[in-house]
Amino acid sequence: MTGEGLAGPDTTTGDDSPFWAGAREGRLEFQHCASCGFVRWPAAGVCPECLSRDFAWRPVEPVGTVWSWVVYHRAYSAALRERVPYDVALVELDCGVRLLTRLTGFAGGDDPVGTRVVARFEELGEHGRVPVFAPAEEGTDR
Ligand SMILES: [Zn+2]
C-alpha cells in the first residue's frame, strides 16, 4: 500500500493480473472458460457455470452499455486526486461482463445510463494504462 491508503488495484500479481497486463497494451482481456466459454470476471479458479478449472485469457470487443453510474467526490486512488469529482460506472460489456470502471467524455451531470460506450486506455500514474469508457462514436453503435 502506498499513498495514504490510496493504492488502487494491485495490477501486477493475483488472478486478475492478465487483465491489467492486457490493458497496459490497449486490450480488454478476460478469462474465458475452456469448457463452456463463460467469460469470468473477476477471474476465478473454477467456472461458476460448469465448474471447469480450464480457461484461457482472450481479448473481447471493448464495447458495452452503461448499466449504472455514480459520481465519486473522493479519490480512491492517489492517481485520481486531481480528477475529483469523476464518474464511475458499471458497464455491461457485450461479452456479458459487468465492469466497474471510470467514465470519460460525458458532460458533468448528464445521466449516462443506457449509453453505448467503448474502452479507451489512459495512463494513470503508478497503475500504468487502465481502461476507461467513453461514449461510442456514431456508427460504432452495434
Ligand atoms: Zn464453464
Q: What is the pLDDT along the chain (142 residues), one digit of tens a residue?
A: 344 555 566 777 788 999 999 999 999 999 999 999 999 999 999 999 999 999 999 999 999 999 999 999 998 888 889 889 999 999 999 999 999 999 999 887 789 999 999 999 999 888 789 999 999 986 544 4
What SS3 string covers 13-81? CCCCHHHHHHHHCCCCEEEEECCCCCEECCCCCCCCCCCCCCEEEEECCCEEEEEEEEEECCCCEHHHH
The answer to the question of residue 10 being in a domain is no
Q: What is the CATH number of the domain that holds 86?
A: 2.40.50.840
- Locate 19 and state its grid cell: 487483465
| Domains held by the chain: number | 1
Amino acid 28 reads L
- Locate 6 and state its grid cell: 490510496
The answer to the question of residue 6 being in a domain is no
| Ligand 1 center to 55 CA (angstroms) | 8
The answer to the question of residue 9 being in a domain is no
User: What pLDDT, on the 0 to 100 scale, is given for residue 78?
Assistant: 86
The answer to the question of residue 104 being in a domain is yes
| Ligand 1 center to 40 CA (angstroms) | 9
The answer to the question of residue 101 being in a domain is yes
The answer to the question of residue 8 being in a domain is no
| Ligand 1 center to 60 CA (angstroms) | 17
In the chain, the N- to C-terminal Cα span, in Å, equals 41
Range(s) of the domain holding residue 40: 17-135
